[in-house]
Homo-oligomer: A and B are copies of this chain.
Amino acid sequence: MLQKKKNAVLVDGVILNGPIMDSKAGEKFVEEACKIIMEEVIQKADDVTEKVCEWQAPETLKQILDLEMRDTGESHQKLLQLCRDVIQYSVKTSHPRFFNQLYAGIDYYSLVARFITEALNPSVYTYEVSPVFLLVEEAVIKKMIEFIGWEEGDGIFNPGGSVSNMYAMNLARYKFCPEIKEKGLSGLPRLVLFTSEECHYSMKKAASFLGIGTENVYFIKTDERGKMIPEELEKQVQRARKEDKCLVINCVYSLGRPFVLCNFQLPFSIYKFCRADSVAWNPHKMLLAGIQCCALLVKDNSGLLKKCYSAKAAYLFQQDKFYDVSYDTGDKSIQCSRRPDAFKFWLMWKALGTTGLEERVNRALALARYLVEEIKKREGFQLLLEPEYANVCFWYIPPSLRRMEDGPEFWQKLHQVAPIIKERMMKKGSMMLGYQPHQGKVNFFRQVVISPHVSREDMDFLLDEIELLAKDL
């Protein structure tokens, strides 16, 4: 029975006929904004004559941007100007001379995938609302597992490496003692987590979030290259056993990797001691999939992920659906709404092929090796250590310190050099490069090559620019 109501229907003074949005005006706005994005971000991504950043102090930037949200809306013209301002004062992480973080550059395929998913706005939990993205996630996880070299496995995309580490820790303790899910930790002896003293800071965050406590993270001493010392690990395990605690040896691969120094091969004796049951893989870093894109992969294929994480919400995971509900994989997640992050990695992989991805990584490593050799040739530059991956850590010793005697005063003065150079490069906008102190070593630069837009010329520029910025120091 089709009813027709030609007159306007009012409920509580609200007219309910027709939509309340002007679709045509909205579409035009999207088109105009896309033109700005194309011209101001995408087409400038490979242009080294552009600034990496246009520095403004927080208080100044607040005044430039009209941050306040008001009762009435702004015109499209004003909003488009706002979009231009946002772009202008944002850091251009796709610039070939943005070396500041472990993500950089632009991948056109991943970007297209992200535009598609933003427009479609899916949530990946059931096949009924997310058929394509669930199948894509399944295919990507399968491929990643193959790539690692496991015969089988399982996995889930989630909001980043830190959250992946939490997933892995919680899985490890669940496997060790499944009642933890229901009973919690309070009845149990303490759980202890072993990790490298050079691990990522997410380990401590995870230990406290999961109720383990940061004091129960036993940090294992490392050698001068940042690698865990097997005897130290054994010593800590013995210590924990004596204290009559439960043991969870956390086997997530990334935990073993010295994060800053990035020498990621562990001594064989540690591999023997605890082989990885899970891997956290972040394609949003060196593979340029865009933040966020991260999977936790587990070797187990007996449904451990699901058993550990499921809560069986009846309003999502109805068992009387007309299709195979084993495709409704959302209950493996700690999230409810979840982004289709696997899709951007998938489209990129389809576009470049495994060899294209490999070429990028090889090129980045070759550029890092080139930079290392150049650093060795130049006066004033000093490597912290020979890198094994794409992170090149080095000091720049400015002219006034080169004749100084090695001693506390020298290091104290050198400690102040990197922050000054950093300030100058930010204010000039010529490049961005991170610095930090680490394990008793004074401030040094950490250069990371990631973007396929980076060339040898940018490596030379990096060193030239540091010399130029610091010539009076």
Contacts and interface: CB of A to CB of B under 8 A. Distances in A.
A234 interface: no
A272 interface: no
A454 B114 CA distance: 26
A159 B452 CA distance: 29
Contacts of A18: 455, 457
Interface string A202-215: 10111111111111
A49 interface: no
Given A19-B452, A322-B419, A455-B16, A205 B334 contact: yes
B128 A201 contact: no
A98 to B, nearest CB: 9
Name which of A191, A312, A314, A416 has the most chain B CB atoms within 10 A of its CB: A314
A67 B212 CA distance: 40
A435 B316 CA distance: 9
A455 B122 CA distance: 22
A197 interface: no
A441 to B, nearest CB: 11
Interface string A21-55: 10100110111011001100111011000000101
A184 B181 contact: no
Interface string A84-106: 00110111111010001101001
A150 interface: no
B335 A159 contact: yes
Interface string A333-365: 011111100010011011111111001101101
Contact of A339 (B90, B202, B292, B323): B292
B182 A214 contact: yes
B143 A69 contact: yes
A192 to B, nearest CB: 10
Contacts of A46: 19, 21, 23
Interface residues of A, number: 192
Interface in A147-166: 159-163, 166
A38 B42 contact: no
Interface string A186-225: 1111110000000011101111111111111000000000
A455 B23 CA distance: 14
B131 A90 contact: yes
A112 interface: yes
Interface stretch (A134-142, A296-304, A382-390, A399-407): A134-142
A311 B366 contact: no
A236 interface: no
Contacts of A182: 208, 213-215
Contacts of A324: 57-58
A333 to B, nearest CB: 8
Contact of A163 (B11, B320, B334): B334
Interface string A354-381: 1110011011011101100100000000
Could you say how many copies of this chain the assembly holds?
2
A438 interface: yes
A434 B318 CA distance: 10
B14 A366 contact: yes
A186 B189 contact: yes
A18 B46 CA distance: 10
A83 B116 CA distance: 8
Given A191-B184, A422-B322, A336 B161 contact: yes
A34 B315 contact: no
Given A29-B109, A69-B140, A360-B20, A419 B83 contact: no
B309 A73 contact: no
A90 B132 contact: yes
A456 interface: yes
A347 B79 contact: yes
A318 B5 contact: no
Contact of A139 (B68, B89, B355): B68
B215 A212 contact: no
Given A69-B350, A119-B111, A160-B336, A23 B45 contact: yes
A55 B119 CA distance: 20
A346 to B, nearest CB: 7
Interface string A429-468: 0001011111000010010000011111101100010010
User: 9 smallest A-B Cβ distances: which pairs?
Assistant: A211-B211, A184-B213, A26-B108, A16-B456, A201-B313, A14-B366, A73-B353, A322-B423, A159-B159
